[in-house]
Structure 1
Amino acid sequence: MELRSVAVVGSGSPGGGMAQVPAEYGVVAARGADWADGLPVPLDVPPERVAAALAGARRLVVLDDDPTGTQTVRDVPVLTRWGVDDIAWALEQDTPGFFVLTNTRSLSPEDAAQRNREAAEAALTAAARAGVDLVFASRSDSTLRGHFPLETDVLSAVLAAHDEPVDGVLLSPAYIDAGRVTLDGVHWLRSPSGLTPAGESEFARDATFGYRASRLSDWVEEKTGGRIPRAGVRLVTLPELRGSTGALQQALSSAREGGVLVVDAVTDDDLRATALAVVEAEAAGIRLIYRVGPSFVRARLGQGAHQPLTDSQLDELTGDGHGLIAIGSHVGLTTRQLDRLAARVDPALIEVDVERIVTGDAASHVDEVVARAATALSDAPVVVSTSRRLRLGATAADSLDVSRRVSAALTEAVRRIVAARRPAYVVAKGGITSSDIATHSLGIDRAMVRGSLLPGIVSLWQAESGPSLGLPYVVFAGNVGDDDALADVVERLEGR
């Protein structure tokens, strides 16, 4: 395969530096530093235009496979339970959609399928009672990790059983704020060396959800085991999306039998243009499922990028004293962020030893962690982190089991620490970690997403009920921000 050195820097580029990318990857490989030059003029699609189009549109139910999908939005309900009454509460809120945190990325395929099925059935039951039409987004990782096509297959089956057969799956993993874009059908991630094809990133080597392809049509073929061949994936390119040919409308109107539609996206305006076309197609009777990253959800909710919460707003939310930071993510970025946090803020660092957890000493080890953390909170922010050396099982299923056991120990430790000494705030680092701490440690079942702490990333929830009412809860994905991001967030919360 021919490789070209590409400097992806300059105006309009989501990253900077040098990268080796296959020449077949199109415009980025061909143009290098000038890859954005010569593309069609960016669209101007204000959020208000999408918001106006949502009047009478289907209500969006975002089944989120970890809590980090909320980081791009504000003032939106989020549920960690999916009983009919919980969903009815969310439908009563004056919003165009809401999140249901299923946390399925931490589950086995069988359990993930069952949880999607339960949540979808409950949502359809609540919607029928309220006389509301729904559309489902299966929100997953912008670095392409998660249960695909399982989750969209389950949702399709549930809808078909309710006489609402699905015409197509919209695939849009873009996360504009974090530099994850799709161009020429190839998904790209920003890294210190520039734009990296997704299949060449560290995330593609994930022990459970690894993959090889960067071109999304190839990725679909890979993940479906050839059931959906690359030739069966329809791509709407950036020139088509930004042009006047109506290619996206044509592709949507011709969607049939669960085919996959990939849409290029480099800016939020691209995604809002897609959202407008989707709403129009749905009004005409087309039924879609969205398999998307965080940015399309924001577009479909009629929101634009918003400023982070101000210091005065944080002062109103946080209590006296210091905060608790729980870190479960093992990606390299999180480890670098933890190192920078330790250097800048000087927190108390307490490690959950993975080896002790998996070799049968979990209970006594958690006792030690809780006692040390509760004492240290009186003098400094406390970091409770899993040991940084990743322990893998013999198989993908074994690795997932190890991950669940370690997460359970960290979650139990946080629950007991908060009960022993209530912190001023809680930060959870990592998607699975964030979900488990929200539900099991803090008892959050209904909440509102109030906003972010950094532009487009790191959301702050406010519980609407339960034992953690009034405690700021910060959801921080493992794979976002620069090396200083965690330290920046903690310094703001500590009022430094």
Structure 2
Amino acid sequence: MTTNPKIIVLDDDPTGSQTVHSCLLLTRWDVETLRLGLADKSPIFFVLTNTRALTPEEATAVTREVCHNLKEAIASLQSEDSAVCDIQDFLIVSRSDSTLRGHYPVETDIIAEEIGPFDAHFLVPAFFEGGRITRDSIHYLIIDGVPTPVHETEFARDSVFGYHHSYLPDYVQEKTKGRISANTVERFLLSDIRAGSWQRLMNLTGNQCGVVDGETQDDLNKFAQDILKAASQGKRFLFRSAASILTALAALPPQPVAAEDMAQYVRGGKPGAVIVGSHVKKTTQQLEKLLQEPGILGIEVEVARLVDDSINQSATLLNETLTKVQAAHNSGKTPVVYTSRQELSFKDVQTRLQFGADVSALLMDIVRGLPTDIGFLISKGGITSNDVLSTGLALTSARLLGQILAGCSMVRTPESHPQFPNLPVVLFPGNVGDADALATVYRRLTKNL
């Protein structure tokens, strides 16, 4: 077995690549598309499942389908080329939100059932670029310089993925409904990681649940070295993680073009477009700052109108918005299309998810109707970004160029794209960056205009 296994990431929205570069993001998971990722020269690739936008039943079905096709893709490559390593030479990562929102343990259970057995699965939610650290098995979000247990933040009150614990063993017990009790969870504390965890990793069996601390990237780099060493000796591990452990496992060199210089990717030195779907408080703050920038024209989409009459209202909203977008573009401005910010209430989770799907469908119609000569596209929000790539731009895969800001990925469409060839697209998660972050990305892209 090699010491550098392929890292296969099943990403529940398209922002998990926010700490790496030069790899493929796949928006489809048929066998042929998965073969592209497996055969690619990069040590890591991402399958964008978008399961965070789905019901548990739908997430189960998608995850099972990916795993089934993945096994078939690996087997087909093996039959063609004996140099392609077998399934034991792969690390599987279920990448999810660094604030603990998502279908856990649904996705890791299905992966273990389909691609297991694993000796252990690890929860590694630390995401340093986003101000998330884990200390003494407690996960924190740093707010205004103060580490705040995540169960005290808005994210824990999420209407779909809410939770009550920042202490990860208790979180595991809560989410598994007691199937995994808190006192059986293996805790990898900072002191353990810094002293070395290899021997302890070698002793894990039976898909043991472990939770992993991390205060700095060096912590996860050290843990990853021990993981890879144990994997090289036959241990099989599964991860439920945020993005920072991926940096450590992939061990990539610096990205080819620095974040400050990414304006060179902008097509024809032209203004771009911004699509904002995320509703978290941070996005709203960032949007307010962006709208104050020169060369920007804000276009609000009153999505509450979709609640009353989704079909007719959707068509009306689409026409109204695209008319304003084209006018902004004609005047040399960058249109910022954003959904209305007020919080709406729904009778149940299914209705809320369906409304979200309706809003996303409208936004993707707007993306398809953008002027074909825009210089760049910024997509704000995880689910929005996934839909932009897979539906709005109808991509099968995209090459990740790198990060234009810590935690914010830039990809580029293929030269063969029928509508937007070689278009740089920024995937900006909803809850990343300070209040000026969105404006900073815009300024970096337009500094040559």
TM-score range, shorter chain: over 0.9
Residues 74-112 of structure 1: CA distance to partner in whole angstroms, max 9, x if unpaired? 111111111111111122221112111111111111111
CA distance in 2, matches of 1:185, 1:359: 46
- Would the alpha carbon gap of residues 424 and 346 (structure 1) be closer, same or farther in structure 2, given more than 3 Å must change? closer
Match of 2:31 among 56, 80, 84: 84
Q: Which amino acid aligns with 1:298?
A: T
Q: Secondary structure at the match of 1:221?
A: helix
**Is 2:286 the partner of 1:337?**
yes
Q: How does 1:265-280 map to 2 (within 5 A)?
A: 265-280=214-229
Q: Give the corresponding residue for 1:459.
A: 409
Q: Give the corresponding residue for 1:381.
A: 334
Q: Give the corresponding residue for 2:181.
A: 229
Aligned 8 A contact 2:3 2:229 in 1 = no
Match of 2:114 among 151, 158, 161: 158
Task: Using the TM superposition, give the Cα deviation of residue 56 of structure 1 relative to its aligned residue in structure 2, in angstroms.
Answer: 4.6
CA distance in 1, matches of 2:327, 2:389: 23
CA distance in 2, matches of 1:168, 1:351: 47
Structure-2-length-normalised TM-score: 0.92
CA distance in 2, matches of 1:392, 1:436: 23
- Would the alpha carbon gap of residues 177 and 141 (structure 1) be closer, same or farther in structure 2, given more than 3 Å must change? same
Match of 2:128 among 141, 159, 176: 176
Aligned 8 A contact 1:322 1:378 in 2 = no
- Would the alpha carbon gap of residues 177 and 311 (structure 1) be closer, same or farther in structure 2, given more than 3 Å must change? closer
**Is 2:308 the partner of 1:359?**
yes
CA distance in 2, matches of 1:306, 1:94: 15
Moved more, 479-488 or 173-182: 173-182
Q: How does 1:429-444 map to 2 (within 5 A)?
A: 429-444=380-395
CA distance in 2, matches of 1:352, 1:177: 30
Q: Secondary structure at the match of 2:186?
A: strand
- Would the alpha carbon gap of residues 384 and 473 (structure 1) be closer, same or farther in structure 2, given more than 3 Å must change? same
CA distance in 2, matches of 1:494, 1:398: 39
Aligned 8 A contact 1:185 1:235 in 2 = yes
- Listed as ranges, the gaps of 5+ residues in structure 2 are 79-84
Q: How does 1:228-377 map to 2 (within 5 A)?
A: 228-243=180-195, 246=196, 248-303=197-252, 309-310=258-259, 312-345=261-294, 347-360=296-309, 361-377=313-329
Q: How does 1:115-194 map to 2 (within 5 A)?
A: 115-131=62-78, 132=85, 133=87, 134-159=90-115, 164-192=116-144, 194=146
Aligned 8 A contact 1:374 1:421 in 2 = no
CA distance in 1, matches of 2:373, 2:396: 19
Match of 1:63 among 3, 6, 10: 10
**Identity among equivalent pairs (%):** 37
CA distance in 1, matches of 2:30, 2:282: 36
- CA-atom RMSD, angstroms? 1.8
Moved more, 60-69 or 273-282: 273-282
Task: Using the TM superposition, give the Cα deviation of residue 183 of structure 1 relative to its aligned residue in structure 2, in angstroms.
Answer: 0.4
Q: How many residue pairs were aligned? A: 433
- Would the alpha carbon gap of residues 156 and 310 (structure 1) be closer, same or farther in structure 2, given more than 3 Å must change? closer
Residues 8-66 of structure 1: CA distance to partner in whole angstroms, max 9, x if unpaired? xxxxxxxxxxxxxxxxxxxxxxxxxxxxxxxxxxxxxxxxxxxxxx9553211101111
CA distance in 2, matches of 1:373, 1:323: 11
Residues 319-357 of structure 1: CA distance to partner in whole angstroms, max 9, x if unpaired? 332111000000000000010111123511111212112
- Would the alpha carbon gap of residues 242 and 182 (structure 1) be closer, same or farther in structure 2, given more than 3 Å must change? same
Moved more, 460-469 or 300-309: 300-309
Aligned 8 A contact 1:208 1:397 in 2 = no
Aligned 8 A contact 2:266 2:445 in 1 = no
CA distance in 1, matches of 2:252, 2:126: 16
CA distance in 1, matches of 2:221, 2:437: 27
Task: Using the TM superposition, give the Cα deviation of residue 135 of structure 1 relative to its aligned residue in structure 2, in angstroms.
Answer: 2.2
CA distance in 2, matches of 1:175, 1:316: 27
Q: Secondary structure at the match of 1:212?
A: coil
Residues 121-165 of structure 1: CA distance to partner in whole angstroms, max 9, x if unpaired? 222211122233322100001111111000000101111xxxx41
Q: Secondary structure at the match of 2:374?
A: coil
Aligned 8 A contact 1:76 1:97 in 2 = yes
- Listed as ranges, the gaps of 5+ residues in structure 1 are 1-53
Q: Secondary structure at the match of 1:325?
A: strand
CA distance in 1, matches of 2:357, 2:180: 31
Q: How does 1:87-126 map to 2 (within 5 A)?
A: 87-126=34-73
